Amino acid sequence: MTEPAGVILAGGLATRMGGGDKGLLPLGGRRLIDHVVARLAPQCAGLALNANGDPARFADLGLPVLADGVAGHPGPLAGVLAGLDWAAGQGAEAIVTAAADTPFLPGDLVARLRAAAPQTGLALAAAPDATGAIRRHPTFGLWPVALREDLRAALAGGVRKIVAWTDTHGAGTAVFEAGAVDPFFNVNRPEDMAAAEALLAGTA
């Protein structure tokens, strides 16, 4: 099986950061999204960015920018669908998604998701939270192109929650260890950016 294409999900409104593009904020001498690209690109056969609005603001990344095909900012499932439609045009069998605000995402994300996927080819990442309970991170997933019309119909029918759709297809779960740094640490608020800076500097 060929490597999946990668899609970085950056279509959110970033309301807790005051709006705008979180991925373009500086972090450790680069932008937040540059860290995500550096970690995800080596794992994938091609990379694209799901984002809405003027794509020119991401031009220097040199990546295809995929807008949601569903109006009204319906959430990350719309970004997944945009990625699947793009991947189908590339001849890819699947995509792997990652959130644009997660600078420490796992270097073995793709391999672990593929190993956890059942026959449907669908899998989500998970990791223990602060209490030790396993929590899914549904914006990190392996999505087969073969399910894109099913997803399109689900979105048209009003489905918005990722797991509400993936659970109907028996998605596998790839469990990652938290380690010294949470691989799914995401930047939602200004204080999270400060924490990410400390983690990068090894002072956290």
Three state DSSP letters for 142-173:
EEEHHHHHHHHHHHHCCCCCHHHHHHHHCCEE
How many structural domains compose the chain? 1
- 147 lies in which domain range? 5-201
Looking at residue 1, its pLDDT comes to 57
Asked whether residue 201 carries a pLDDT value surpassing 90, the answer given is: no
For 58-88, what is each residue's pLDDT tens digit?
999 999 999 999 988 889 999 999 999 999 9
CA distance 194 to 190: 7
pTM above 0.85, yes or no: yes
Asked whether residue 179 carries a pLDDT value surpassing 50, the answer given is: yes
Looking at residue 104, its pLDDT comes to 95
Torsion angle, CA of 63/69/71/77, rounded to 10 degrees?
Answer: -80
The count of other CB atoms within 10 Å of the CB of residue 98 is: 27
CA distance 155 to 191: 34
- Residue 168 pLDDT level (bands cut at 50, 70, 90): very high
Asked whether residue 16 carries a pLDDT value surpassing 50, the answer given is: no
**For residue 94, what is the domain's CATH number?**
3.90.550.10
Strand pairing category for 26-27 and 30-31: antiparallel
What is the token pair recorded at 28? 């450790």
Looking at residue 77, its pLDDT comes to 97
